[in-house]
Amino acid sequence: MFQTRQILTLVFMMAAVNASAQMQADVPVQKVIRLAASQYKAFVQKYPDTTRYARDTGADGSLSESRAGDWISGFFPGCLWYMNQLSGDKRFEKYAEKWTAGIAGQKDNKGTHDLGFMLYCSFGNGYKITHNEAYKQVLLQAAISLSTRFHPEVGAIKSWDNRQFHYPVIIDNLMNLELLFWATKVSGDSSFYKIALAHANTDIKYRWRADNSSFHVLDFDPVTGKLLRRMTHQGYADQTCWSRGQAWGIYGYTVLYRETRDSRFLNQAIKAADYFLAQTNKIPDHIPYWDFQAPDIPNASRDASAAAIVASGLFELSKYAGKNNRYYQQAVQLLKALCADQYLATEGSNNYFLLKHSTGHKPNNSQIDVPIIYADYYFLEAIWRYKNYSKLDFFKS
């Protein structure tokens, strides 16, 4: 009897190992890690200026870089921090430290809502790994600076200082709230949490259409707090759904649920994800068009960055959405699509970016069908989440 039990135990253990191996085989994780290691090592050797940050590929095919004050400056060091974790190669920690350091001065920048993108993706990832006290102080000061853009009458953080709008609040802004939630947990100062929650409450009141597609821009009267207009800036039209905006919403509302445990945010994340997936499941390779109602579909530009953001967000959403939900498999499906030859670069190509075919600002004729650094960032984050999915606490700040 004892021997039989031993045999059965061994069989079950082998089955579990095989199942785990099969799950890992669904996405070519090691292929991506090897490619990213090669691409980024080549990048830092060719472009050693640590005050300039990979941005995209210009219309002429050359590399486009940004300075520290650009909203996307934190993504390249964020990629390097993820490669430190994924590859185990300590050289990436050194690279990450160097490219992160140049953004530190942005902690005092009160002229942008993007401090979460800029500093939480760089210093935030670095702090999780190194517990460097200096990194924590940069992040706390950034949270203070971001908080100055909150208007109590509107109940939201202002996005752009642009005379084209009165008081714009864009869906992208949801991604900067994680910095504020983190700041309360670390400092004990509840004012950051209260601002983030107030912004979320305002957002959920106005952001979503009846079909759970999203408006890009909410424009308010800063005196009365009244909503003046719901519109787009980077989508095709005010009544269409800009796919990356929908991606920000899925990811952002998932984080809102994690930090507040308010079921309203979870339910909206699920509804937004269902809308996104209903659209991408109509597309043979599942990579979204830049706008889901673009008039030139199926010839419209794709946006691999939106797929990468949603893949990463769905891995977390699947943790909260209950048993037998489909979000994990949908995340894997998106990752596998991004790993196909059509979207994943070959070694030495693509200006050392990982993903091809992203679209930044189509109405402005900018960044159309090119590699963009935030696509790489969320792609690597999704790979890391996939690889570490069984670790139930890996979403903690």
Rounded (10°) CA dihedral 378, 262, 216, 304: 20
Half-sphere exposure of 252 (CA within 13 A, CB side): 27
**Considering only CA atoms, which of 325, 336, 281, 286 is closest in space to residue 31?**
336
Task: Collect all residues with Cβ–Cβ distance below 8 Å to 98 and sequence separation of at least 6.
Answer: 50
Residue 108 CA to residue 111 CA, distance in Å, equals 9
3-class DSSP assignment, residue 354: coil
Task: Report d(CA 318, CA 309) in Å as an integer.
Answer: 14
Give the Å distances, CA to CA, from 115 to 65, 187, 305. 18, 18, 20
Strands 227-231 and 366-370: unpaired
Distance of CA 324 to the CA centre of its chain: 25
Which member of 49, 56, 70, 172 is catalytic? 172
Angle at 120 between CA 255 and CA 216, to 5 degrees: 55
User: Would residue 114 show up in a list of annotated catalytic residues for this protein?
Assistant: yes
How many CB atoms within 10 Å of residue 267?
A: 14
Spatial separation of the C-alpha atoms in residues 268 and 85, rounded to whole Å: 32
Cβ pair 301, 290 in contact under 8 A: yes
Query: Which phi and psi (to 5°) does residue 56 adopt?
Result: -165, -170
Question: Shortest CA distance to 305 belongs to which of 346, 334, 284?
Answer: 334
Q: Which of 374, 252, 263 has the alpha carbon at shortest distance from 316?
A: 252
Assess whether 172 carries a catalytic annotation. yes
Q: Exactly one of 49, 56, 70, 114 is catalytic; which is it? A: 114
Q: Are 121 and 74 in contact (CB under 8 A)?
A: yes
Amino acid present at 200:
A
Residues designated as active site: 114, 172
